[in-house]
Amino acid sequence: MIRLAIVNSNFVSINRHTKKGTEIYVYILIHQLKRLSRRFNLQMTAFASGDSELPIKVESINYQSSISDSAVGVEHHKTFEMALVSKAFSMQKEFDIYHINIGNGDTVLPLAPFVNKPILITMHGSFLEDKYTKKYLSLFKNLPNLYFVSLSSAQRLPMPDLNYVATIPHGIDIKRSWKFDKAGGDSMIWAGRAIKEKGILDLIKIVKNCKRPLTVFPLIKDETPKSFRDVVERRRRPIHHLTVRESLSRHKLAREFQKSKVFLFPIHWEEPFGLVMIEALASGTPVIAYGRGSAPEVIEDGVTGFIINPSPEEIKGDYIIKKTGTEGFCEAIEKIYGMPEPEYREMRLRCRQSVEKYFTVKQMTERYIDTYKIVIKDWKNKNSSRK
């Protein structure tokens, strides 16, 4: 039996309606682990907000998520997160392994030396290349009970000397949620947090230059640029060909992906893994993306979409489209719109097949179970060698 503690943020409730990437992943993982629990003899506890809707036992310090509790909110959520981690580690006799899903494990690391169990950290956080993160993680990287899972090979590049035990990309449920549509539709699509890092300002340039219909489903945040917020709130003249709709749940978005022509992903940072890319691909919708972060590991250039170099000064690879930036996006868009129907349908089929081969929730979960076993065995060997 594997006694597994899955430690999560209590910032938001973990349920099927959550729109936060890490918590979407946690919800998917826990449900699939539950389905496989008898087969692999798993006993699981999740540490999360008390209002989380999960099929396993939930331990919490507060029924409400921090963002929903006016006494906590954004201002104090870090201290409440530390309190939840403290509770999890105080129960270490009940578990064989901890699986941490909070950023890059920042909250957990100072307490790790006092835990006599292996701690597996999935690297959900960003900006491993920034000076603070590299310096902070280096303080703890030699702790014998710390193990790391990267989401992509690209994510490891800034800190290759962490104790990585696996690279496990995210997976999605292609049987229940993300269905394939062989034909697609006429409009381009984008969905996500409306922040600069997600490339929303590039979207405006692209739609103005390409003059192809684009529907966006933005999640408006405090950091949403004013110029884009004005478009959403119709404080300025509407942009021709651009349709802005309210943000939808992932499950409602599934149908929008299926009936779209192409998904645009003009990412402006080295994103470790873009879950939205595989959701689009599973629907049959090809993806055009800047060659940053995990994009070249997810998209096969010319096969399931196109990779674009961000600028003449930032050349990431020798891709099919030679133009860069938004000009490169427009050329790729015209290539897709100009495809004969049989060729385009073949691309959609290859998109679906790539997810079936590499990015299913079953594959992801079974790899995590294998990793749990490897880590537990390694930790036992380390302890026995000390005696």
Q: Is the pLDDT of residue 127 over 60?
A: no
Which structural domains are found in the chain, ordered by start?
2-171+360-386 (3.40.50.2000), 188-358 (3.40.50.2000)
Q: Closest by alpha carbon to 30, among 377, 369, 356?
A: 369
> What is the b/e burial string over 295-315, where b = at least 16 CB atoms within 10 angstroms of the residue's CB?
bbbbbbbeebbbbbbbeeeee
Where does the pLDDT of residue 176 fall: very low under 50, low under 70, confident under 90, or very high at 90 and above? confident
Q: Mind listing the pLDDT tens digit for each residue in 212-267?
A: 999 999 887 777 777 777 666 665 567 788 888 877 777 788 899 999 999 999 99
Distance in angstroms between the alpha carbons of the first and the last residue of the chain: 24
Write down the pLDDT at residue 382. Answer: 86
Alpha-carbon span 182 to 168, nearest angstrom: 28
Write down the pLDDT at residue 306. Answer: 98
Write down the pLDDT at residue 370. Answer: 97
Alpha-carbon span 336 to 344, nearest angstrom: 7
Alpha-carbon span 6 to 314, nearest angstrom: 39
Q: Is the pLDDT of residue 386 over 80?
A: no
Write down the pLDDT at residue 233. Answer: 65
Length of the chain: 387
Locate 148 and state its tokens: 């790391």
Question: What is the pairing mode between strands 262-265 and 242-244?
Answer: unpaired
* More confident: 250 or 43: 43
Q: Mind listing the pLDDT tens digit for each residue in 75-123?
A: 998 999 999 999 999 999 999 999 999 999 989 999 999 999 999 999 9
Write down the pLDDT at residue 232. Answer: 66
Where does the pLDDT of residue 387 fall: very low under 50, low under 70, confident under 90, or very high at 90 and above? low
* Average pLDDT score, the chain: 91
Mean pLDDT along residues 158-172: 93
Residue 118 one-letter amino acid:
P
Tokens 């939808």 correspond to what residue?
248
Alpha-carbon span 320 to 338, nearest angstrom: 16
Locate 265 and state its tokens: 């992903």
Q: Which of 97-111, 135-149, 234-248, 274-288 shows the lowest mean pLDDT across its residues?
A: 234-248
Alpha-carbon span 221 to 211, nearest angstrom: 27
Alpha-carbon span 304 to 344, nearest angstrom: 10
Helix axes 325-337 and 200-210, enclosed angle (nearest 10): 50
Write down the pLDDT at residue 335. Answer: 97
Q: Closest by alpha carbon to 49, among 5, 95, 78, 80?
A: 80
Alpha-carbon span 367 to 362, nearest angstrom: 9
Write down the pLDDT at residue 231. Answer: 67
Q: Is the pLDDT of residue 274 over 70?
A: yes
Q: Mind listing the pLDDT tens digit for each residue in 195-208?
A: 888 888 899 899 99
